A = this chain, B = another copy of it.
Amino acid sequence: MPRHEFSMDMTCEGCSIAVTRMFNKQGGVQFDIKLPNKKVSIDSEHDVDKLLETLGKTSKAVSYLGPS
């Protein structure tokens, strides 16, 4: 499955917990959060626009870094 990497404005544990809770609400998403690097990796067949929309639900600034 393609893996996509995003940069997200996460600066504390509370930030990463919010992103984790959001993914858990979505369900069935394989993801990896690297808080020190402010990066989120997602394994998904969805396109990047859909993934950006999902990450944007947290109201955190997010940008696509590329496949990884």
Q: A-side interface residues toward B, CB under 8 Å? A: 9-15, 17-19, 21-22, 25, 57-61
Cβ contacts under 8 Å, A58 to chain B? 18, 58-59
A16 and chain B: residue at smallest CB distance: B14
Cβ contacts under 8 Å, A14 to chain B? 9-12, 14-15, 60
Cβ contacts under 8 Å, A21 to chain B? 59-61
Across the interface, A17 reaches (CB within 8 A) one of B9, B17, B57, namely B9
Q: Is the CB of A60 within 8 A of B18?
A: yes
Q: How far is the CB of A52 from chain B (nearest CB, A)?
A: 15
A24 and chain B: residue at smallest CB distance: B59
A15 to B60, CA, bound (A): 8
